[in-house]
Amino acid sequence: MRVFFLVGNTSVKVAPQGRRPQSFPTDAAGGIGRFLEGLAGALPVAASVNPAGEETVDEACRSAGLSAPLYAGRDFPTGVEIDVERPEKAGIDRILNVKAAFHRALCPSAAVDLGTAVSISVADGRGHFAGGAILAGISLALKALHEGTAFLPDVLPGVPASPLGRDTVSAMQSGALYGTLGAVREVLARISADLECELEVFLTGGDCRLVGEVSPAPWHIAETLTLEGLQLAHDESLR
């Protein structure tokens, strides 16, 4: 029995093997520990982009009587060739997304992780991590508009009734949502042209359904893509 952890910038996803993930704030060691009760003997397996969040997970595992987590890329390999400059700087979430996307598609593919940041991570025809792009996420863009101006309000992401915003809130939602969609489509088109191939595209992350709902492109929604990559990597390390 394994329990998987994704330690992100603002949340920790916890997924006992075979169950849907639950999301917790990155400082909720007590809540995670209570969620882990009854999983004695389970092996914690994790991937992290947030050292502070790792302390939360480590504390929660101790309180639940579990061993210290094994972290992908440190305690076991990802099994992904990283074909970029300074491969040691590639985010573990991006590497695992590429692993899962290529495992699904078996062809050049792109994982678009729509969270605090939007990361576009590309697998070439060999399944190697070939690079990609990073831009601000929808919530982060809205927050920047609010905090960087005198009068723009604090707005939550959403699909406005029309792309033509008729008030400030809907105008901000339209700009953030359709601006993100347009940016992702443009980046993907340019990467495809650069690689001279079509890409199979997978959307993941907290805003994947929001963007998938308005996208005219035939993209796949894969909410658990990073977890799939983590489990694949750990499975391979056991062979």
Q: Does residue 93 carry a catalytic annotation?
A: yes
**Cα dihedral across residues 119, 7, 18, 125: positive or negative:** positive
Burial 37-64 (b: 16+ CB within 10 A, else e): eebeebebbbbbbbeebbebbbebbeeb
Q: How far apart are CA 179 and CA 135, in angstroms?
A: 11
Q: How far apart are CA 203 and CA 32, in angstroms?
A: 26
Which position among 93, 113, 124, 207 bears the catalytic label? 93
Q: Yes or no: say if 71 and 43 are a contact pair by the CB < 8 Å rule.
A: no
Torsion angle, CA of 12/16/20/23, rounded to 10 degrees?
-20
Cβ neighbours of 111 (radius 10 Å): 35
Q: Yes or no: say if 82 and 129 are a contact pair by the CB < 8 Å rule.
A: yes
Dihedral-angle region of residue 220 (phi above 0 means left; psi in -120 to 50 means alpha; beta otherwise): beta
List the catalytic residues: 93
